[in-house]
Chains A and B, each alone.
Chain A
Amino acid sequence: MGFHLLQRIGSMQVRSGIAVSPGVVVGPALVLGSENFRIPNKFVSRDAVDVEIVRFNTALNQVCADIEEHEILVGEQLGSQYAAIFSAHLLMAKDPRLLTEVEAMIGEEAYSPEYAVSKVLRGLAEQMQNLGDEYLAERASDVFDLEKRLLRKLLGESREEIGNLTQPVIILAHDLTPGETATLNTEFVIGFATEVGGRTSHTAILAGALEIPAVVGLGRCLAGVSGGETVILDGDHGHVVIDPDEATLKRFRASQEHNNRVRVRLQSLDTVESETQDGQRVYIYGNIEFPEEVTQCINRGADGVGLYRTEFLYLGGNKEPTEEDHYEAYCKVLNACGDLPVVIRTLDIGADKVPARIRDRFADSQNPMLGLRSIRLSLQSTPLFKVQLRAVLRAAVYGDARIMFPLVSSLLEFRQAKMILMDVMEDLEDEGIPFRRDLPVGMMVEVPSAVILAEEFAREVDFFSIGTNDLIQYTLACDRSDPSVANLYRSGDPSILRMIQTVLEAGERNGKTVTVCGQMSSDPRFIPLLLGLGLRQFSASPHSIPRLKEVVRNISIPEAERIAAHACSLDLARDVEHYLLGELGRICPDLVV
């Protein structure tokens, strides 16, 4: 019975979402509404309590007066039905519940009026949202509106905005637009989490590019959060802890300090080549999504770009990217890379990242992961595909561009894709447009059929790049975003190791290079194993490059081969991963937390 408004105060709230940008940070929450208000202080001094209550009452009266004024104005201009919106607001503003609760929080606990208003109203809004009544859930927006009005009065001219930060904060928001994300001041914004969004949302991708730890898709959880609460954001595992208890806080702080120490130490590796103890040169490339990320690869001494995802071109804006859009982006990357190779992967839009424009092509797909995606989509939408190929071929004049087709599952698909590429070359030739004819053409190995036929594929491709994320998913028939089977998704599964081995051997026999570009090659644990299996080319997220270098420089090939041999003799994923973690701890103790 009654209303448990304050139930969350002082109690830890743990939420899990999707980890989209790694790193662990601890800091005060900055909750962003659409107006991006920021609550400067959670508490006021005991002596100031009376003054603060008066300040709150003044603000509340002003808000009521404003609403009344609006009501009259709108009634005159638009009619009484619109004015009624404001009478609802007024009703809430004059609600005695708001007044007594906020006054109690200020008076008894010395909370700041801003914090108290936000806490009380958000608590009420949250309850409305949770009643399961659509109408009431919508009224919650009226409550948020009232909160904004009050905060605007309370904060007055001193209202702080995200562009105006002076101390580190962790941003919590329902959603951040890519524009907002892009303009985050990374000096002060140490992490962010959003209620909505997926792994491939723009915001997620931008977070990775900005290298701000981030978690998205938390689900609705911010209605009761006002800002100022301490937040732990674990961008490695996708957890967000709001108002953590001491023990939790201590644990996270320790791991944060450790990570920072290691990161600083590893910066010294930025200028050195990746070479094993016994002098074997290893190539470490970066995976990028945005042209701007090239800088991060180059700064860390990457040997090039091993995977340039081009989906962002399709996900932005509301129209299909033009050839010039593609061309400009590719030129930017190629110019920044100089002589270093850049592997451009053609459209790899999957079921999880379909823009609205082409969603109808996926209509009624019962099983989108096995449906029309990636190269299949490109082959069925030749005009769309040709636009991209023309741009790659033209841009290739400026650097060492290579082209790669994703999700190839049969030889016919690869041949068809290559044929279209030839068509495009002919067109360009006819039109007298300069392009590069001899650029290497490779494929992603991410479907088991491609592994089984690796030998046949190896005769036709110029290179292989193993996309472990999809390969694991398709081999083990498990969707890693489905929590009920996520435990089956294991990079260390013996079947996966054998598949990688098969591809490496086929590549070796046919003189074709093999790269691993999935998340597995960004994970230091797997580096000794992959080296031992014969892999010499890794493509990883830019931030993991220093750690990869560290492993490579601390191991010799015979040692890696010994580790690989032992790992391949184990028959459970769990044992493999456990063993590899132990070995990593021996080789690079710092990298194991």
Chain B
Amino acid sequence: MDESVTTRRIVKLAHRNGLHLTPIQLLVKAVSDHSAVVRVHFGGKSANARSAMELMLLGATFGANLDLDASGVDAESALSAAEAVLSATGD
């Protein structure tokens, strides 16, 4: 019955201004449409992808390699949605 999967991928942050409010807002929204738990790891810190404040505190800048993992039934699609947001330039 438990079809939960854990998956992981590395995404390069394409937003010029880094992980600021605009991409965070989009990321939170994208992840919240899924039931999977998504975490973003960067620079020895990790953040719940639903928590805007934790994401901000990662201090990720343009070009940062963000290490994403997700677990849950829709982990794969959650990560794809997250990647789509983070790898877009936002321009």
Binding site for B on A (CB under 8 A): 1-3, 87-88, 91-92, 95-98, 124, 127-128, 131-133, 135-136, 139, 143
Structural contact, B25 and A97, CB atoms closer than 8 A: no
Taking a contact as CB atoms closer than 8 A, the residue among A3, A95, A131 that contacts B59 in the complex is A131
Does B52 lie within 8 Å of A91, measured CB to CB? Answer: yes
B56 touching A96, Cβ below 8 Å: no
What is the CB-to-nearest-CB distance from B44 to chain A, in angstroms, rounded to a whole number? 6
Across the interface, do A3 and B56 meet the contact criterion of CB distance under 8 Å? Answer: no
Please tell me if the beta carbons of A1 and B21 are within 8 angstroms of each other in the complex.
Answer: no
Report the bound CA distance from A2 to B20 in whole Å: 19
**Other A-B pairs beyond A95-B52, A97-B51, A97-B53, 5, CB < 8 Å:** A2-B45, A91-B21, A124-B53, A128-B56, A136-B56
Kindly list chain B residues whose C-beta atoms are within 8 Å of the C-beta of A132.
Answer: 59
Q: Is B65 on the interface with A (CB-CB < 8 A)? A: no
CB distance from B48 to the nearest CB of A (A): 6
The complex places the Cα of A509 from the Cα of B57 at a distance, in Å, of: 71
**B25 near A139 (CB under 8 angstroms)?**
no
Query: What residues on A are CB-neighbors of B57 within 8 Å?
Result: 3, 124, 127-128, 131, 136
- A95:B51 contact, CB within 8 angstroms: yes
Q: State the majority secondary structure of interface residues on A.
A: helix
- Residue from A88, A97, A133 having most chain B Cβ neighbours under 10 A: A97
The answer to whether B53 touches A98 (Cβ under 8 A) is: yes
Chain B window 46-78, contacts with chain A (Cβ cutoff 8 Å), 1 for yes, 0 for no: 101011111011010000000000000000000
Does A92 contact B59, Cβ atoms closer than 8 Å?
Answer: no
Is B54's CB under 8 angstroms from A1's CB?
A: no
Interface centre among A91, A124, A128, A131 (most CB of B within 10 A): A91
A143:B53 contact, CB within 8 angstroms: yes
Say how far A145's CB is from chain B's closest CB, in angstroms.
13
CB contacts (< 8 Å) of B17 on chain A: these are: 135
Are B46 and A1 in contact, with the CB atoms below 8 A?
yes
Are A2 and B53 within 8 A (Cβ)? no
A92 with B46: in contact, given A87-B25, A136-B59 (CB under 8 Å)?
A: no
The distance from the CB of A147 to the nearest CB of chain B, in whole angstroms, is 12
Quick one: closest A residue to B50, CB to CB?
Answer: A96
Does B28 sit within 8 A of A, measured CB to CB?
yes
User: Counting CB contacts under 8 A, is B13 at the interface?
Assistant: no
Give Cα distance in the complex from A87 to B54, angstroms. Answer: 17
Residues of B within 8 A of A95 (CB): 50-54
Whether B85 sits at the interface, judged by CB under 8 Å, is no
Which of B18, B51, B56, B57 gathers most chain A CB within 10 Å? B56
Contact, CB under 8 Å: A97 / B44: no
Residues of chain A lying within 8 A (CB to CB) of residue B24: 91
Expressed in whole angstroms, the minimum distance between the Cβ of A150 and any Cβ of chain B is 14
- The complex places the Cα of A88 from the Cα of B57 at a distance, in Å, of 15
Nearest first, the 7 closest Cβ-Cβ pairs linking A and B are: A97-B51, A91-B52, A131-B59, A95-B51, A95-B53, A88-B21, A95-B52
B54 with A88: CB separation less than 8 A: no
Our pick among B18, B25, B51 for the contact of A88 (Cβ within 8 Å) is B25
CA distance A132 to B18 in the complex (A): 14
Contact A91 B25, beta carbon cutoff 8 Å: yes
**Per-residue contact bits, chain B 5-36, to A (CB 8 Å; 1 contact, 0 not):** 00000000000011011001100100000000
B29 vs chain A, min Cβ distance (A): 9
Q: A92 CA to B54 CA in the complex, in Å? A: 10
- Which residues in B have their C-beta under 8 angstroms from that of A98? 53
Q: Cβ of A1 and Cβ of B56 under 8 Å apart?
A: no
Query: Which residues of chain A have C-beta atoms less than 8 A from B44's C-beta?
Result: 1
- Give Cα distance in the complex from A131 to B50, angstroms: 20
Q: Are the CB atoms of A135 and B20 closer together than 8 Å?
A: yes
The residues of A that contact B59 with a CB separation of less than 8 Å are 131-133, 136
Residues of B within 8 A of A124 (CB): 53, 57
Contact of B54 with A97 in the complex, beta carbons under 8 Å: yes
Question: CA separation between A92 and B56, bound complex, in Å?
Answer: 10
Residues in B whose Cβ lies below 8 Å from that of A91: 21, 24-25, 28, 52
- Once bound together, how far apart are the Cα atoms of A135 and B56, in whole Å? 10
Contact between B45 and A92 (Cβ–Cβ < 8 Å)?
Answer: no
Task: Kindly report which residue of chain A lies nearest to residue B21, judged by CB atoms.
Answer: A88
Contact of B45 among A1, A96, A143 (CB under 8 A): A1
Least CB distance, A217 to chain B, in whole angstroms:
28
Closest to A99 in B: B51
A residues in contact with B25, CB < 8 Å: 87-88, 91
Complex Cα gap A131–B20 (Å): 13
Q: List 22 A-B contacts (CB under 8 A).
A: A1-B45, A92-B53, A95-B53, A95-B54, A96-B48, A96-B51, A97-B51, A97-B53, A97-B54, A124-B53, A127-B57, A128-B53, A128-B56, A128-B57, A131-B57, A131-B59, A132-B59, A135-B18, A136-B56, A136-B57, A139-B56, A143-B53
Chain A residue at smallest Cβ distance from B29: A91
Q: How far is the CA of A92 from the CA of B45 in the complex (A)?
A: 19
Contacts of A1 in B (CB 8 A): 44-46
Residues of B within 8 A of A92 (CB): 52-53
Chain B proximity of A189: nearest CB distance (Å): 33
CA distance A128 to B20 in the complex (A): 12
Residues of A within 8 A of B18 (CB): 133, 135
Q: What's the Cα separation between A92 and B57 when bound, in Å?
A: 13
Min CB distance A94 to B, Å, is 8
| Chain B residues positioned under 8 Å from A127 (CB to CB) | 57
Task: Report the bound CA distance from A98 to B48 in whole Å.
Answer: 12
A513 vs chain B, min Cβ distance (A): 64
Give Cα distance in the complex from A87 to B22, angstroms: 10
